[in-house]
Structure 1
């Protein structure tokens, strides 16, 4: 599978414009926030979420150009995503994200919290000026879901009784809601019919869940250098993901290690060995593949086009990260 950036060819020029606009939108009146914006948006990164919004906009408007409102929706989507990452890094006390210093480690917790707040506020302001009540409702729900997901994760720290369904709910709030609601919003701006809008939402929901499950698998299987953080970091912090929950079904002794929060010497290494010697990772791969397949099915009613093919290929890319 080619790199994800190559899949964005149908919207490459759109993403270039998005990168320029984001830095202008964020930092026009605030030098310190502009410095933070340069830090956040200075490199292209994957830009997965705005790329999906732009691809969906083009897929739902075949043989037409997308509108300025579609472009602004993609920018809002990236603002919301980035704001949530900035706040997550403060809560998790993360020094690095993908191998790069986090905003709060480069500036301060105060600047990071304010930068995240400002991004959410800017996103909300620009959202209102899209002047579409349905789109406002969809993206406002995302901001609430992000907070709900963070709260659920905090309340469920080191909770070995957490179910897979509860894990998927939390994953929806933290990751899939933004994808689901933003791609549906792109369809709304394209004036797509209601049945198609439901399919667009389903695509984003299942792609987002597959993406999060894959990320949670990589937390155990990738090297520290690739992750930009120690392997198993989520479990160390009490965030129990699919590989852990499935491993618990085979290794009841893992629950005792979790309950005492890996406080004794060798606990963490023992837990990692139990997960490695279980079907946890294999079952998690199957779960990710299930949701990726459902995402692919949701695209069947879109007319054939290069953007639609890119959206289909993205489902393959998500799974290719663990193969």
Structure 2
């Protein structure tokens, strides 16, 4: 049952943009300058000498603490024997660009963390649908949805630890803290409950953008950074990968907030206007509020009174809020593309640019 519930959203057609970015960043940084003196046992200038099956070994080859570990290790040994060619743990090389087995595992971990957050979010938000399916708690109940989210986080944490790279483990573990921090920030629309209600000030926008980074940008940014680290990239390349992911992540969420006002539920795969129903003041609302002061009291009471949601919806569409949100997303998109300039020219870098540009035109 736990496996069935945990796989529920994986069976639907998601965007899979996070694992895609990990893989493309792996290829793009595989031909960039390399760092010297790293201590990870899965880093070596000659990748053919590395036993990547260590990623799946729960214990050392000589110690079997329980029957399950023994069976797992036997499966790994069977998969890597002569005759199988070691394919499950072989680097993928195409056009001189390399994706290591550790990159593939990081891509899986990233999607598992993202999906676990969806399971928890849908319970918290009382969601009706997700990816065109009934929300998980509608099918299995709140308890099973929460347990499944916890289970995915646990499995992702185990897989992360087995990458045996302390730097990557620390970076990706901090994502979990960011997700929780972002969820708490989302409970309030403004940092200061006593903030002036005439119109949103700079602090209100900064608070919104910080929440956006924590809930969406952090996972994208830090998984891109970790991908560059697994490529053994120099510090400047690693930092550029992070800057790229951070700006792309914020742009991605800005467009997500815009789509909540502009596309149909069938296109989006979840109800439109959901943010207003949850009492959230996203970028389109904040910009509209600058034009229509009457939005202030609605934001303050989180659109809780009858007619608040409909009024806010109308004012957002009358204002320049949607246009200005797209312009802000375009600004972050341009900063993301600028960060890629440090990487050598390659088909992977071109693909990263293409993914970034497609963020502005997506409809789901």
Normalised by the size of structure 1, how large is the TM-score? 0.86
* 2:249 corresponds to 1:208: yes
C-alpha contact 1:242 1:284 (8 A) present in aligned 2? yes
For 2:204, the equivalent position in structure 1 comes to 163
Structure 1 residue 180 and structure 2 residue 248: aligned?
no
Could you tell me which residue of structure 2 aligns to residue 51 of structure 1? 20
The answer to which of 47-56 and 37-46 deviates more is 37-46
The aligned counterpart of 1:25 is none
- State whether residues 224 and 245 of structure 2, in contact with CA within 8 Å, keep that contact through their aligned partners in structure 1: yes
| 2-structure distance, mates of 1:300, 1:189 | 20
Among 171, 177, 182, the alignment partner of 1:149 is 182
TM-score, normalised to structure 2's length?
0.76
Please say if 1:34 is aligned against 2:67. no
Corresponding position of 1:222: 263
Say whether the 8 Å CA contact 1:98–1:226 is kept in structure 2.
Answer: no
Match of 1:70 in 2: 103
Give the equivalent residue in structure 2 for 1:80: 113
Counterparts of 1:108 and 1:265, CA distance in 2:
28
After superposition, where does 1:95-110 map in structure 2 within 5 Å? 95-110=128-143
Secondary structure of 1:298 counterpart:
helix
Check whether the contact 1:157–1:237 (CA below 8 A) recurs between aligned residues: no
Determine the C-alpha separation between the residues in 1 that align with 2:302 and 2:219.
Answer: 31
* Structure ranking higher in helix proportion: 1
Q: How many pairs does the alignment contain?
A: 292
Aligned-partner SS, 2:279: coil
1:231 aligns with 2:272: yes
Shift of the alpha carbon at 1:98? Answer: 2.9
- Contact persistence 1:157–1:239 (CA under 8 A): no
SS at match of 1:320: coil
Map 1:118-137 to 2 at 5 A. Answer: 118-137=151-170
2:279–2:304 contact (8 Å) kept in structure 1: no
SS state at 2:345 partner: coil
- Where does structure 1 differ by over 6 angstroms across 4 or more consecutive aligned residues? 157-160
Would you say the 8 A contact 1:86–1:112 is kept in 2?
yes
| Secondary structure of 2:217's aligned partner | helix
Task: Mark the runs of 5 or more structure 2 residues left unpaired by the alignment.
Answer: 32-95
Q: CA deviation at 1:263?
A: 4.5
TM-superposition CA deviations, 1:248-275 (whole Å, max 9, x none): 1110011123334444443322221111
- Supply the distance in 2 between the matched residues of 1:319 and 1:242 (Cα, whole angstroms): 15
Does residue 331 of structure 2 align to residue 290 of structure 1? yes
Deviates more, 1:153-162 or 1:101-110: 153-162
Q: Distance in 2 between matches of 1:132 and 1:319?
A: 35
Are the structure 2 counterparts of residues 271 and 33 from structure 1 closer, same or farther at C-alpha, using a change threshold of 3 Å? same
Aligned residue for 2:340, secondary structure, equals coil
What is the Cα deviation at residue 73 of structure 1?
A: 0.7
**Conserved in 2, the CA contact under 8 Å of 1:94 and 1:102?**
yes
Per-residue deviation, 1:227? 2.5
Deviations 1:78-108 (A, max 9, x none): 1100000110001001120132112211111
Aligned-partner SS, 1:172 = helix
